[in-house]
Structure 1
């Protein structure tokens, strides 16, 4: 203990005090005051606290030692008090944790908030900040959330968007047009911008009272291109309907340095639709499958039995596209073995283009060819079995989905370029490369430099020949690989990176737009944080997921 006479490190025993024999009497050398009860009363005498002892006259003249002793006393007092409080807090927390959880659950239930929203990062932050603030925190008013705070959060989102804009200048970006209809049959158009940093939501338009002619959609998209700046845009992705094809034509006529591309996921979905329409066995099997949810959901007792055997999962999967989902679980019917030989390889491509895991641009060209080969092998190379399927795929791929951008991304993908089966002599690939280069690169001198630097990449010279570069070809995404090893070919590097980064209530419309703007961007950022592993479709043999009705 510091208070015992043998402890010479404590300030109370240094130089100026001593114990008288074995008694508890202490004498101070400077004021000659003698204390009974050991060092405790003496410390307060020295610190001039007036606690159970007179203040030292000598220490009034020498304040330094007095203040040191006083500080040590206060620290010990604070530590004791805080430890006591911590113990009480822990007991309080253990007792009230369940009550707090119940209160949070009650808030979710009475506000009809989806249970999954408890995983929202903003909710976790909110709980943490309220806990730090303490019991005196009062929540904002209804008016505050509707007006002042909404503006503050919009401003905060604007700042985040500025970071995205800086990225667009370096890597280029993709403008995405997302049209949808709500339950009240009102039509909306969302405008989003994708880059390596993530997807940003710009704004939403209520188009219910606007006829979606090519000219009007073109004007809407042209405004977005102007906002983002044409030199930053590599491609515009829209639906594949006839009016959007016309919009694409108008866009590339006016904006000569960008591409219009139909949505790849939509195109693949249409391939599944073509299978159903043109292949008799597909049409028959899917009709049978569609009867299952109709039969079950029309009988409450069967719904109860269903949920018991599916652990509460539903048959209907409304978030999936309506033609693809029909093929996901048809293995419950015997006829489906034939169908799955065709559809499972195509599902892999669908997952690729519909996933946030990696940009699909550099892989879709190769994956479509691999899909056809897998289908061919599944039918033991029998022409009459696989050729009708190839014909359907080729019709959509050649007439709608395939673009020069796909060929360029394939050629400049290090994961594929150095493989033995790489199609270096494929005229379609080379033509796509040079057509795309001429369109995306404005300056002829820069175009020439890129051509010269292509040879270093093709023959693996310079930094591309380093052992690190060779090892990382498969492990890194194409864009990341070029960022790390493309510095000796700066013009080509910039070009490649631009290619390989491609993916009402009663409130006033402006306020509604603000809410959508904040929520959409927040969810998009969270989606980037929560990367998920793609499902292995090659192993599909479960009947846990079912088809949906039209």
Structure 2
């Protein structure tokens, strides 16, 4: 009898366990379906939000890289935490109270930078540009470990940008920032800025003047490109590209042979563009030869012109491509330095100096260590470095 009672109890427990297992499995199945539905709804809502955001960007002509702005991401996070019912600020709020609050916040941030200038020092940077109204604007910025801040600008359209004029403008900025706080002044390497640097050294010998490293390297490329053999090659390449891009028929013929890829590639500077175009031409050497050897080219009306015949001779000339190989080997090391100096993460001046020394050795190797070939190039590099990149 006791055994039967035990069996009955065990049987009932097994039934309850089975029932619980069935309920658990059912609940899991329901939860999984609910999760799938929630994910589908979330994707649909997210897509709608993305579409509204994209539409606003398109209609307002906002640059696409604004989506990566840290302030915009903070705004999206704050808006999500606020929840539904948020109303955007009015034009008046953007124009008056919110702008004044942002101005106050910027001034507070500037105070922290000024305190840093007191302890660690700072650099004054100046640059000139032309705005959309063709006005000549001179800008002044102050850089320190905490970042770069805009100090002021001046419309100098009516004034002659002499060395004395630039010196007076920079000297006034140094007085405003504090002469004991300023460690160096950074400008480009134009002749008037070099003259201003000499005046600065006479009045404030404790402040260093540093030229823009990227501009210095660009001046090196400019000087090398004027050497007789290199200048001839660049002129031939220019005539070829100008001829191709001057006519719809030749441009379409070129793109049909290069799979719609252009041969002119813009760079950060004029001489970087020159290098990139030469490199692009060399990459498409076989395609361009096929183009000028095709039946379409011989049937083209422009193939009979003087410039067309000259372009044909240039592309089919073995010496042209051999010279281009050498020129690219000479330019490549310096363009590498230019990219380092003009990149987002700018290295120290000592590192740039070391890379230029490496570039000089690479140029010697490219010219097969023949002094008569590399000496004019090294001389140009040393002349542009003197007083710019070879001193603190």
Q: Normalized against structure 1, the TM-score is what? A: 0.52
| CA drift at 1:387 | 0.9
| CA drift at 1:244 | 1.3
Q: Which residue of 1 aligns with 2:350?
A: 362
- Secondary structure of residue in 2 paired with 1:350: helix
Name the CA distance, whole Å, in 1 between partners of 2:224 and 2:99: 48
| Structure 2 contact 266–276 (Cα < 8 Å) conserved | no
| Structure 2 contact 265–273 (Cα < 8 Å) conserved | no
| Pair 1:171–1:304, CA change in 2 (3 A) | farther
- The answer to whether structure 1 residue 126 and structure 2 residue 75 are counterparts is yes
| CA drift at 1:195 | 2.5
| CA drift at 1:309 | 6.1
Q: Which residue of 2 aligns with 1:111?
A: 60
- The answer to whether structure 1 residue 351 and structure 2 residue 339 are counterparts is yes
| Structure 1 contact 167–197 (Cα < 8 Å) conserved | yes
| CA drift at 1:329 | 4.4
| CA drift at 1:196 | 2.9
| Pair 1:373–1:162, CA change in 2 (3 A) | same
- Secondary structure of residue in 2 paired with 1:139: coil
Q: How does 1:246-265 map to 2 (within 5 A)?
A: 246-265=195-214
Specify which of 147, 169, 181 is matched with residue 198 of structure 1.
147
Structure 1 residues 11-49: Cα deviation after superposition (integer angstroms, max 9, x where no partner) = xxxxxxxxxxxxxxxxxxxxxxxxxxxxxxxxxxxxxxx
| Structure 1 contact 296–303 (Cα < 8 Å) conserved | no
| Pair 1:376–1:305, CA change in 2 (3 A) | closer
Q: 1 or 2 for the larger relative contact order (CA 8 Å, sep ≥6)?
A: 1
- The answer to whether structure 1 residue 401 and structure 2 residue 388 are counterparts is yes
Name the CA distance, whole Å, in 2 between partners of 1:182 and 1:215: 23
Q: Which residue of 1 aligns with 2:230?
A: 282
| Structure 1 contact 297–303 (Cα < 8 Å) conserved | no
Q: Which residue of 2 aligns with 1:292?
A: 241
- Secondary structure of residue in 1 paired with 2:350: coil
| Pair 1:311–1:175, CA change in 2 (3 A) | farther
Name the CA distance, whole Å, in 1 between partners of 2:113 and 2:264: 39
Q: Which residue of 1 aligns with 2:271?
A: 323
- The answer to whether structure 1 residue 336 and structure 2 residue 285 are counterparts is no
- Secondary structure of residue in 2 paired with 1:404: coil
| Structure 1 contact 178–191 (Cα < 8 Å) conserved | yes
Q: Which runs of 5+ in 2 are unaligned?
A: 1-34, 283-320
Q: Which residue of 2 aligns with 1:150?
A: 99
Structure 1 residues 192-250: Cα deviation after superposition (integer angstroms, max 9, x where no partner) = 22223333332333322333233332222122212322222221111222221221122
| Pair 1:87–1:340, CA change in 2 (3 A) | closer
Name the CA distance, whole Å, in 2 between partners of 1:288 and 1:193: 44
Structure 1 residues 289-347: Cα deviation after superposition (integer angstroms, max 9, x where no partner) = 334267337639947985996888894526x1112221134132423211122111212
| CA drift at 1:131 | 1.7
| Structure 2 contact 124–141 (Cα < 8 Å) conserved | yes
Q: How does 1:91-240 map to 2 (within 5 A)?
A: 92-240=41-189
| Pair 1:391–1:297, CA change in 2 (3 A) | same
| CA drift at 1:155 | 2.3
| Pair 1:102–1:349, CA change in 2 (3 A) | same
| CA drift at 1:178 | 1.6
Name the CA distance, whole Å, in 1 between partners of 2:258 and 2:68: 27
Name the CA distance, whole Å, in 1 between partners of 2:273 and 2:241: 14
Structure 1 residues 40-82: Cα deviation after superposition (integer angstroms, max 9, x where no partner) = xxxxxxxxxxxxxxxxxxxxxxxxxxxxxxxxxxxxxxxxxxx
Name the CA distance, whole Å, in 2 between partners of 1:214 and 1:385: 36
Q: Normalized against structure 2, the TM-score is what? A: 0.72
Structure 1 residues 366-392: Cα deviation after superposition (integer angstroms, max 9, x where no partner) = 333222222112222111111111121
| Pair 1:382–1:312, CA change in 2 (3 A) | closer
| Pair 1:311–1:116, CA change in 2 (3 A) | farther
When Rg is computed on C-alpha atoms for both structures, the one with the higher figure is 1
Q: Which residue of 2 aligns with 1:423?
A: none
Name the CA distance, whole Å, in 2 between partners of 1:300 and 1:234: 58
Structure 1 residues 231-282: Cα deviation after superposition (integer angstroms, max 9, x where no partner) = 22221111222221221122222223101222221121111111122x1232
Name the CA distance, whole Å, in 2 between partners of 1:140 and 1:310: 49
Q: Which residue of 1 aligns with 2:290?
A: none
- Secondary structure of residue in 2 paired with 1:363: helix
| Pair 1:176–1:308, CA change in 2 (3 A) | farther
Specify which of 358, 371, 374 is matched with residue 383 of structure 1.
371
Name the CA distance, whole Å, in 1 between partners of 2:91 and 2:249: 41
| Structure 2 contact 140–151 (Cα < 8 Å) conserved | yes
Name the CA distance, whole Å, in 1 between partners of 2:362 and 2:96: 57
Name the CA distance, whole Å, in 1 between partners of 2:96 and 2:165: 33
Name the CA distance, whole Å, in 2 between partners of 1:138 and 1:342: 60
RMSD: 3.1
